[in-house]
A and B are shown apart, each in its own frame.
Chain A
Amino acid sequence: MRWIYVLLLFLLLILSGCATVKPWERESLADPIMIIDENPIDAGMKEHFIDYREGSEGATGAQSGGCGCG
């Protein structure tokens, strides 16, 4: 896990230092087509079925409950 924290620390320092987008410049980013997983409930349900079909899971941002089908 150590490398994850190092990576996050690095990204935090590097990327946050170059923030340039002001709140009034975010009209384009507020468009629904620019939002990642705009509907988290729907994303979670889709991920649930894929988790059962494949041997991998995680790092998707989606969340769902456990079940006996997996």
Chain B
Amino acid sequence: MDKKLALGLLILLFLSGSVLAQDLPDDELQVNISGYFDSFDVNVMYPSIAITRKVSDKTSITGRYLVDMITAASMKTGGSSSSGSGEREHEDDDEGREHDFGKTSSATSVNSVDAVTAASSRGGGGVFGGEGLSSFDDVRNEFNLGVSQIVGENLISLNGIYSTERDYTSSTLAGTISRQFAMKNTTLQLGFVRSWDKVFPVIKDWTRSKDVVTYSANFSQLLGKSALIQFLTSYSENNGYLADAYNQVSVDSMGTMVLRDPIHPNNRIRKAAATQLKFRLSEQSSMQMGYRYYWDNWDVVSHTFSMNYMRHMSDHVVLGLGWRTYLQNRAFFFKPQYAQPEALMTSDIKLDKGYSNQLQFELTLNGGRGQDYLPFLTSEKIQYNISLNVYSRHTQSGYWYNGQKNMIATNFNLGIRYRF
């Protein structure tokens, strides 16, 4: 039945009459330097460079390279637990076999793992092997190559993403097809993402797979000369190893709390539906309001509310202020501690009941005439972006590693866009 409805929708869409061709993305070079710092002593710097270029009237290609450079205080102490919940004695693998944790302790001291980020220390060599990045504990490289093609009245985009780090690789193929109709008042975009991930934790001797398939449908509609609305939906099916190998679960064993590996279901079906409304408040300002409802078969349900205010401060300066609030309940198998081993166990803080708030600040400087007093802003082709986000999260249970229920994080970005 689902397939028939989807087919009907597609036929209606692609046989509909009043359609107009869509535009390819602008030619541009974008360089960003971003950073993330939180109260769990995690610091991440992630510079990136992206280029988009039309190669014909109907074809555009995009390339992007991003590197995550992670440092964490807990890595430098070998990732040892400070929760006080008990001494590590044994660990189980997914099949429930017990191992002497002492066998892995020496490996842990060399290939230390951060319990907060799950990032693994690069040790002496690392990805680059040189000293230039030696102050970072883990490095992730992400490569993205994409092509956008106008086919008839449709805009089709295909992206390949490959991400690699010491203990994880991910290959992703993503595609979207979008079409405007009703005199460009309506846009429908259908998307497909397929990921093939491999996880091979440095403290384990196994490799496991994780496969993700995501379908999305986004619908945009102009509501008038100064308002538009967007509806977004996604359906994602995750299969394979879905736990974080570096998280641990406290389990009571004959009166002593011991740490064991988490055991997650090997299937997760995730669904989300969202709407965003954007409207003009005045000639110089706009407001965006959004809501997302999320639910999955692990009984996680969440609500996300967001507001974003944007204002032209001058001909060349745009200010953005945003607020985001997130509420989530607990996965059905989450417990801060377990009285006895269970078939499914997790203390992953992402699956606990909690809430978060985020404040967003953005400043965009556009180059052009009238900016002669600032030599780096004289070109109309250049744009500078500055953003700062302050994020706070509260969970009902303390994190297994440090016992903390509250986390504060800041995230900044300095970016340059050059349109050529």
Contacts and interface: CB of A to CB of B under 8 A. Distances in A.
Contacts of A61: 218, 230, 232
Contacts of B270: 56-58
Contacts of A6: 5
B154 interface: no
B388 to A, nearest CB: 11
A42 B278 CA distance: 19
Contacts of A9: 5, 8-9, 12
Interface in B243-275: 244, 270-274
B119 A34 contact: no
B346 to A, nearest CB: 11
Interface in A23-62: 23, 25-26, 28-29, 31-34, 36, 39, 41-42, 45-46, 49-50, 52-61
B353 to A, nearest CB: 10
Nearest to B168: A68
Nearest to A14: B221
Contacts of A54: 302, 326, 328, 350, 356, 393
A33 B363 CA distance: 12
A65 B272 contact: no
Contacts of A23: 183-184
A41 B32 contact: yes
Contact of B328 (A8, A49, A55): A55
Contacts of A26: 222, 225
A36 B6 CA distance: 26
Interface residues on A, range: 35 or more
B221 A33 contact: no
A53 B385 CA distance: 24
Contacts of A22: 183
B332 to A, nearest CB: 12
Given A4-B273, A41-B30, A46 B389 contact: yes
B232 A55 contact: no
A19 B183 contact: yes
Contacts of A59: 216, 232-234, 272-274, 292, 294
A65 B419 CA distance: 25
B302 A56 contact: yes
Given A32-B318, A53-B409, A61-B232, A8 B217 contact: yes
Nearest to B231: A11
B5 A2 contact: yes
B110 interface: no
A58 B234 contact: yes
Contact of B172 (A56, A65, A69): A65
A67 B140 contact: yes
B81 interface: no
Interface stretch (B86-94, B101-109, B126-134, B156-164): B156-164
A58 B278 contact: no
A53 B391 contact: yes
Contact of B181 (A16, A20, A70): A16
A62 to B, nearest CB: 10
B292 A33 contact: no
A58 to B, nearest CB: 4
Nearest to B286: A33
9 contacts: A5-B5, A7-B231, A12-B13, A12-B219, A28-B225, A36-B228, A42-B32, A57-B294, A59-B272
Q: Which 6 A-B pairs have the closest CB atoms?
A: A68-B168, A19-B185, A66-B170, A59-B272, A58-B234, A58-B272
Given A65-B163, A68-B170, 11 more contacts: A8-B233, A19-B183, A19-B186, A21-B222, A36-B230, A36-B288, A46-B413, A56-B302, A56-B328, A58-B216, A66-B170
